[in-house]
Amino acid sequence: MFNKKSRRLTIEILILVVIGVIMVGSSSRVWAQAKFNDSMYFMSRQAVFALIGFFVMWMSSKISLTKLRGHAKIFFIICTVALLLVLIPGLGVQRNGSRSWFGVGSFLIQPSEFFKIAIILYVADHLAKRYRIKTFKKDLIFPCFLVALGFGLILLQPDFGSGIVMVCSIVVMVLAADSPISYFVRVGMLGVAGLGGLILSAPYRLARITSFLDPWKDPLGAGFQIIQSLFAISPGGILGVGFDNSMQKHFYLPEPQTDFIFAIFAEEFGFIGCVFLILLFLLVIYEGVKIAKNCVDPYLCYVAIGLISLFAIQVMINLGVVVGLFPVTGITLPFISYGGSSLVVMMGSMGLLASIANEE
């Protein structure tokens, strides 16, 4: 993992994880004290997840993806079955209206996080066998089927945000396969129509769209989180109000340690802190793109593109939601937001990226 080719990537990720653990502690302190009578509740759990994630990252950096390639289909099938099982009452744990987790003691495992990695590995194998997309029926129908299957199962939970991230990552991979733009126009038209139907079919999704356009129409309902997020960012100014001095975490911004943790970070560390954090994200993306660019093996190249696009898209959407550029999606900020499955799986995916760098 600390091989010369992946050392920078590893160091950048470790810095982000440390920042994440500290910010989970700061943002959740008041909430945790009120809910669990333990101000360190979320921070201590996030620290445990970080240690597990570091071990998983180290282990995955030792994996040879060229040798693992033959098992991509099995991994995909296992993760698909897990997505089916989590929908069964009694097996899947329901939180905030979504049945997206398996309960293991006091810890929760989210199978959709593992599915994102599984579909990247499987689609990469499919694309590498063709190297360049030439015909829609032969080369793109199968990836489209896999994406539709995964998106449908994730949507049943429902977890619209994770589904969108997964779809966008696969689209980036297919684009990298030199696919004719006309194919994307066809699929895109169907996708937009389907997306419109899904939004209109669920009142809460439509409410999120309308609240994104004008959160003040429903300031105590659908627009509440966006408004409180902006109220957190604005006092931050250039240097911020100081570490642990956020006012919005005092029950104004609900569960600030999760999707909207960047708002608390912006309030406490200001514009300078935000620039530093975003720069770290960009450096990780740069390292990932460089690894993909240096790959000789098409399979490893597609996997690297899929993994780094998964990271980049999550960062972009989360930051966009926090500042009011996108509707609320429920997507966590990689390495920073509270969440065991998302942290461990993302660290594992970066370990796979380090493995690719070391193999080439």
How far is residue 252 from each of residues 89, 227, 231, 248, measured CA to CA in Å?
A: 33, 10, 9, 5
How far is residue 198 from each of residues 75, 148, 234, measured CA to CA in Å?
A: 29, 13, 34
Whole-number Å distance between alpha carbons of 164 and 313: 9
pLDDT of residue 285: 96
pLDDT of residue 226: 85
pLDDT of residue 290: 93
Whole-number Å distance between alpha carbons of 263 and 270: 10
Residues 6+ away with beta carbon under 8 Å from 92: 85, 86, 99, 100, 101, 102, 157
Whole-number Å distance between alpha carbons of 3 and 164: 33
Name the amino acid, one letter, at 161.
G
Tell me if 60 is assigned to some domain: yes
* Domain interval for residue 171: 7-359
Tell me if 265 is assigned to some domain: yes
Name the amino acid, one letter, at 198.
L
Model confidence pLDDT, tens digit, residues 30-56: 989 988 888 899 999 999 999 999 999
Whole-number Å distance between alpha carbons of 80 and 85: 9
The total number of structural domains that make up the chain: 1
142, with CB counted inside 10 A (0-12, 13-18, 19+), is middle
Tell me if 179 is assigned to some domain: yes
Tell me if 2 is assigned to some domain: no
The model carries a pTM of 0.90
How far is residue 138 from each of residues 132, 144, 190, 324, measured CA to CA in Å?
A: 12, 11, 19, 40
Beta strands in 216-266 (DSSP E): none
Name the amino acid, one letter, at 101.
W
pLDDT of residue 268: 94
Cβ proximity of 345 and 116 under 8 Å: yes
Tell me if 1 is assigned to some domain: no
Q: What is the pLDDT tens value at each position of the chain, 360 positions in all?
A: 556 778 899 999 999 999 999 999 999 999 899 888 888 999 999 999 999 999 999 999 998 888 888 888 999 999 999 989 888 887 877 776 777 878 766 677 888 889 999 999 999 988 888 655 555 556 677 788 888 888 888 888 878 788 889 988 988 888 887 766 666 676 667 666 666 666 666 666 666 666 667 777 777 776 788 888 888 898 888 999 999 898 998 888 888 888 899 999 999 999 999 999 999 999 999 999 999 998 888 899 999 999 999 999 999 999 999 988 888 877 899 999 998 888 999 999 999 999 998 876
Residues 6+ away with beta carbon under 8 Å from 165: 116, 310, 313, 314, 317, 331
Tell me if 54 is assigned to some domain: yes
